């Protein structure tokens, strides 16, 4: 009977990289799931703030970014939050500049001026401009409205670009996601920019979405509606 040590070494050399990749992938997917849970709460926070601040995107954006701060820096104390906030906002503004030519059509001009379409972007889905009379929401519209939703409900969608940070697994997961993701007319330009960032900077971002609806408690301002 021959010595099997060589065969064991060869089999281990073939299996270990795959096992390591699977292990790293599990860790990275766990971090993505954590981000999804935080983003769901960020959508709730953004909607609640928007309900009392006239659907101000600046207020909703900051509320969502604050909830997602643990994913962007330390947030285990108020001192850590105060230290992490400027860095997180700087990263958000840097991505805002990178995505300048990949904006969805019809975003409010104030979002562009305020740098509110970077790592975190809050889109107002309802109400729509047709439900606004003059400069603010008309609360006398029929309920439900012709669009099928109550005119005084605020529906927001938070889009968060989650950075994959686990080495090797980040590239593998992003490549698989990009290859399988159907490009729609609204996100094709953004996906192209994210692919460019991956090629040039070796940084991999996964877009995550969450939606929440609340009853408005203030008048919606027309300038914040898409």
Q: Where are the alpha helices (DSSP H) in the chain?
A: 5-52, 57-67, 78-98, 109-113, 169-180, 188-201
Cβ-based neighbours of 67, under 8 Å, separated by 6 or more: 38, 41, 42, 45
pLDDT tens digits along 164-173: 998 888 898 8
Residue ranges for the chain with pLDDT beneath 50: 1, 143-149, 185
- Residues 107 and 226: beta-carbon distance below 8 Å: yes
Supply the pLDDT for residue 106. Answer: 81
Supply the pLDDT for residue 1. Answer: 47
- Residues 224 and 129: beta-carbon distance below 8 Å: no
- Residues 218 and 224: beta-carbon distance below 8 Å: no
Supply the pLDDT for residue 15. Answer: 73
Q: CA 148, CA 156: separation in Å to the nearest integer?
A: 16
Supply the pLDDT for residue 149. Answer: 44
Supply the pLDDT for residue 191. Answer: 86
Supply the pLDDT for residue 148. Answer: 40
Its pTM stands at 0.84
């Amino acid at each position: 009977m021959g010595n099997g040590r060589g065969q064991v070494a060869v089999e281990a050399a073939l299996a270990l990289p795959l096992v390591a990749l699977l292990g790293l992938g599990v860790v990275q997917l766990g971090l993505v799931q954590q981000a999804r849970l935080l983003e769901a709460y960020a959508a709730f926070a953004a909607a609640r703030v928007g309900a009392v601040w006239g659907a101000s995107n600046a207020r909703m954006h900051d509320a969502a970014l604050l909830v997602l701060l643990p994913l962007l820096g330390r947030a285990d104390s108020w001192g850590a939050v105060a230290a992490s906030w400027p860095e997180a906002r700087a990263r958000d503004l840097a991505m805002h500049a990178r995505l300048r030519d990949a904006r969805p059509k019809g975003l409010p001009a104030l979002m562009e001026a305020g740098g509110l379409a970077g790592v975190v972007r809050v889109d107002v889905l309802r109400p729509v401009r047709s439900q606004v009379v003059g400069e603010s929401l008309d609360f006398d519209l029929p309920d439900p409205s012709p669009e099928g939703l109550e005119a005084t409900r605020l529906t927001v969608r938070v889009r968060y670009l989650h950075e994959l940070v686990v080495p090797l697994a980040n590239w593998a997961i992003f490549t698989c996601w990009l290859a399988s993701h159907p490009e729609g007319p609204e996100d094709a330009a953004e996906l192209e920019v994210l692919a460019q960032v991956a090629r040039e900077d070796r940084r991999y971002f996964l877009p995550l979405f969450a939606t929440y609806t609340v009853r408005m408690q203030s008048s919606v301002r027309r300038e914040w509606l898409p």
